[in-house]
Amino acid sequence: MHKLLLAAAALPALAALPSAASAQSLADRAPALRDAALEGDTLAWDLVEGLTTEIGQRQAGTDAEARARDWAVRRLTALGFANVHIEPFDMPVWVRGEERAEIVSPFPQQLVLTALGNSGATPPAGITAEVVAFNSVAELEAAPDAAVRGRIVFVDHHMMPTQDGSGYGQFGAPRRQGPTIASRKGAVAIVVRSIGTDHHRNPHTGVQTFGPGVRPIPAAALTVPDAEQLQRILARGLPVRMHLILTPRDTGTHQSGNVIADVPGTDPGAGMIVIGGHLDSWDLGTGAIDDGAGVAITAAAAHRIMQAGRPRRTIRIVWFGAEEPGGLGGAALYARHHPQDNVVLVGESDFGANRVWRVDPGLAPANAALADRIAALEAPLGIVRGREPADAGTDLGPWVRGGVAAVDLNQDGTRYFDYHHTPDDTLDKIDLAQLRQNVAAWTALLAAAADAPEPIAGLPPRAGP
């Protein structure tokens, strides 16, 4: 039957003439739509290839992100989506400067690092200070201020790859909390081991925010090999002095924005489904897996639904701006559209381009049957049904916390943190077959949910992150 459905789906006449197939509902045709995506989706690749090639990096609030929004509007309009527009918002922008580090003594050598978001700056000629090392944020927190004052703090950690990415929360503490703690204790700068699972000389940047009233200090991530090198040097027991040049700067307020595109539904009273990913990227790579893939996957799936017929519920695609500096686009969307838009389901793709391995249908108990139908549609793709509460992600999480249902299609993150926030986040890290499986998973979800005959219920509001 699988093969038969594939053969039917491959008939161009069916794709070109949705009305000819509309005797069956979209939900009935979900398996066929899913299998056609798995077999031959080309749109997701076209979108992520185009975005990463024709724009490249697109840091939030910069000209590159603005070019990406214009590119997105052109592409989404050409694809036939409705209501394509930009919803702009203002944001403060921080940009990278020069970044260099070297061990001055006892073993002179260069180290490779990159500034963390919102890092303070050294003077142009840099600073030189002794390094004091800690194996965790807890160790740093417990240290007497006198051991830290005037020094360059180094915080290590040991994050292992996990399929569900769960290590990132716990082991990301050196990046997120380390700079604030180090500054409070009088450190002149902080370097952390990259929050990454690779062994390449590519540092992992990422946002950190100094606490209220905390003086910004230079804050950077060493590559994993450089952090291990520094550990070996420290292990000799001699005082280690580092020279550090980091000259990032705040450039003031600039515009970012969310790009919106709709697949109009037939029944406005049935509520809207909002899906998407983020358009901005960090500046080091071309943002292929974070998150060119996510915007491409969700748009390609929505496009398949649109080509197949008109769904009951409107499907809204949002390509969010300014996710990386702290979910500014997600907050802007929620502030502007909640509660007046009747959003009943959200879903986000922002964890790379490897296969979806688990579905967490975070629906209300009243929608148990829909959850079962979704899980059954995903199972042939090798996707296990999970028991976690769905939480969408940084961009659509506000809706979930506000009581909107979500479905999480969780991608395999085992290798995600090899590339995340590094110069290595480039198109070659995306595998076409895995990308197609993502489009298939989203297509099945959308066919089932957008056309579900029953109402999609809300859930109790949840606490924020």
User: Could you tell me how far CA 362 lies from the centroid of its own chain?
Assistant: 20
Nearer of residues 81 and 416 to its own copies, judged by Cβ? 416
Contact by Cβ (8 Å): 232, 106:
no
Contact by Cβ (8 Å): 156, 246:
no
In degrees, rounded to 5, the angle at the alpha carbon of residue 142 between the alpha carbons of residues 141 and 148 is 70
Residue 203 Cβ, how far from its own copies at the closest point, in Å?
11
C-alpha span between 155 and 138 (Å, rounded): 10
C-alpha span between 191 and 187 (Å, rounded): 11
Nearer of residues 108 and 211 to its own copies, judged by Cβ? 108
Strand blocks (E) in 335-460: 343-348, 356-362, 384-385, 405-411
Residue 189, SS3?
A: strand
Question: Tokens 């959003």 appear where?
Answer: 343
Nearer of residues 37 and 233 to its own copies, judged by Cβ? 233
Structure tokens at 307: 């080509």
Residue 54 Cβ, how far from its own copies at the closest point, in Å?
5
Residue 287 Cβ, how far from its own copies at the closest point, in Å?
11
Cis previous bond, 216, omega within 30: no
Q: Which DSSP category does 218 fall into?
A: -
Q: Which DSSP category does 413 fall into?
A: -
End-to-end CA distance of the chain: 44
**Contacts (Cβ under 8 Å, ≥6 apart) of 146:** none
Residue 456 Cβ, how far from its own copies at the closest point, in Å?
41
Nearer of residues 176 and 200 to its own copies, judged by Cβ? 200
Nearer of residues 107 and 336 to its own copies, judged by Cβ? 107
In a 10 Å sphere around its CB, with 0-12 CB exposed, 13-18 middle and 19+ buried, how is residue 38 labelled? Answer: buried
Nearer of residues 205 and 286 to its own copies, judged by Cβ? 286
Contact by Cβ (8 Å): 450, 302:
no
Nearer of residues 59 and 437 to its own copies, judged by Cβ? 59
Residue 176 Cβ, how far from its own copies at the closest point, in Å?
25
Residue 21 Cβ, how far from its own copies at the closest point, in Å?
35
> Per 3-state DSSP, what percentage of the chain is helix, strand, and coil (rounded to 5)?
40, 25, 40
Residue 64 Cβ, how far from its own copies at the closest point, in Å?
8
Structure tokens at 128: 């030189």
Contact by Cβ (8 Å): 400, 462:
yes
- Which chain residues interact with its own copies by CB under 8 A? 49, 52-57, 64, 106-110, 112, 199-202, 224-225, 228-229, 232-233, 236, 285-286, 422-424, 426-429
Nearest CA to 297 out of 345, 346, 354 is that of: 354
Residue 29 Cβ, how far from its own copies at the closest point, in Å?
35
Residue 167 Cβ, how far from its own copies at the closest point, in Å?
19
Nearer of residues 144 and 428 to its own copies, judged by Cβ? 428
Contact by Cβ (8 Å): 416, 274:
no
Nearer of residues 220 and 427 to its own copies, judged by Cβ? 427
Nearer of residues 45 and 168 to its own copies, judged by Cβ? 45
Nearer of residues 200 and 254 to its own copies, judged by Cβ? 200
Question: Tokens 């005082």 appear where?
Answer: 239
Q: Which DSSP category does 134 fall into?
A: E
Contact by Cβ (8 Å): 405, 374:
no
Residue 51 Cβ, how far from its own copies at the closest point, in Å?
11
Structure tokens at 163: 């399929």
Nearer of residues 55 and 295 to its own copies, judged by Cβ? 55
Residue 343 Cβ, how far from its own copies at the closest point, in Å?
35
Residue 290 backbone zone (phi > 0: left; psi -120 to 50: alpha; other: beta)? beta
Structure tokens at 204: 């992992």
Residue 362 Cβ, how far from its own copies at the closest point, in Å?
36
